[in-house]
Amino acid sequence: MFGLTMKRFSVLLIVALAATALACGQSGEKAATGPSNQVVLPDGTIATATPLPRVPAPDEVPDGMEAVWEAYSILVREYVEREKIDPEKLAAGAIQGMVEALDDRHTAYIDATTLKIEQDNFQGKFEGIGAHVEQAKDGKHVIIVAPLPDSPAEKAGIRAGDLIIAVDGENAEGWNVQQAVNRIRGPRGTSVELTVEHIGEAVAVKVRIVRGTIEQPSVRGRLLEDEPYGVIKINTFTAETHKEVRVEADKFIKAGARGLVLDLRQNPGGLLTSVVDIASDFLKDGLVTYEIDGRGNRQDWPVRAGGKYQDMPVVILVDAFSASGSEVLAGAMQDHGRAVVIGTKTFGKGSVNFLRELSNGGGLYLTVARWYTPNGRLLEEIGVPPDVIIESPSNVSARTFTDDVQLSAAIKQLNFQTGISSAR
């Protein structure tokens, strides 16, 4: 990278970023100055200072970063309160400022504490309220994508689509996902108060939630009592999800099921490899998805051989909170003509995001590419439009079988595909 070793470049960049942090922290007001060696003080006095020689940036500093290096060198030599110059704090603030300047709601700086929380998600359980959150499309708020089933959040009345207004009375406007998670998570037995706006309701409400230990099952299945179909609810895509889907599908087939409903509603995504494995069980060949990075490089994710359910009738349910990997799966099945997609247009989170750890214990969660469906449809900000639009009640987490109009539509579609009369 610019002929530097990674270690040396990292040192230079952290130092340079520190200056950016201090610049980002300014109030926005410019000091009134006279000639280069005169400064107008707040009381109107003109003070004369002898400036130190400018320190040119080393040749290794990339083009465009020279002024940042120079600013930092001035600060460390001349700033009056040197005890405030904490390189670690400045570097963290600088990284945060640079990320925010990208104006990408899916790219964020994660501090060391939050990174530990994020890593705990992959252990199968964590302590908190039990809700998936995502950046709202306006970039200024965080919303609840879905409370986990039977979680403290769901039991307290948190709903999919809730806009987080405040946490413990602190205004949450302008927070990114990591900031929200860091404030909402906490040890079991402790409580947190969320001020939220429910969809369709103008008045915000306060919801107090007692945190608990949250188990994260990725799949739940049930065989419908009066219909020959199984419903597989995929909550997220983990390393175990493909195996869990197969267990449920095999159980249903053994019991005589003639079709499957893949319920991807409120599914925020997860591991792409898991999505590819699941899609490959239903598709015969071709692509599941492809991605294009910032340099225009394309990577294909082909269907893997050996699918077990290539002839099983399938219907997919989605909603406005189906995001990321769930959109990849729904889009692939739709493009291949393999499943009818029922519900409402999905969230539109079609970005490929990686977590890159940093030497300070934090990390960068950044967008590196965009996903496309096999037929070339961009998912980012667009989503997957359903084949059959069926609106659902706003409080989807409290929905029961009898008023689940989207599931009822899926049953009718499977009856049509299998030739089973719905008037039995």
Q: Catalytic amino acids?
A: 324, 335, 349
* SS3 sequence of 382-406: CCCCCCEECCCCCCHHHCCHHHCHH
Q: Provide the b/e sequence for 296-326 (b: ≥16 CB within 10 Å).
A: eeeeebebeeebebeebbbbbbbbbbbbbbb
DSSP classification of residue 304: P
d(CA 154, CA 210): 11
Contact call for residues 142 and 176 (beta carbons, < 8 A):
yes
Q: Which of 329, 164, 335 is nearest to 241 (CA)?
A: 329
Contact call for residues 162 and 351 (beta carbons, < 8 A):
no
Contact call for residues 80 and 4 (beta carbons, < 8 A):
no
- What sign results for the dihedral spanned by CA atoms 386, 388, 389, 394? negative
d(CA 230, CA 132): 26
d(CA 226, CA 292): 45
* SS3 sequence of 9-77: HHHHHHHHHHHHHHHHCCCCCCCCECCCCEEECCCCCEEECCCCCCCCCCCCCCCCCHHHHHHHHHHHH
d(CA 346, CA 386): 8
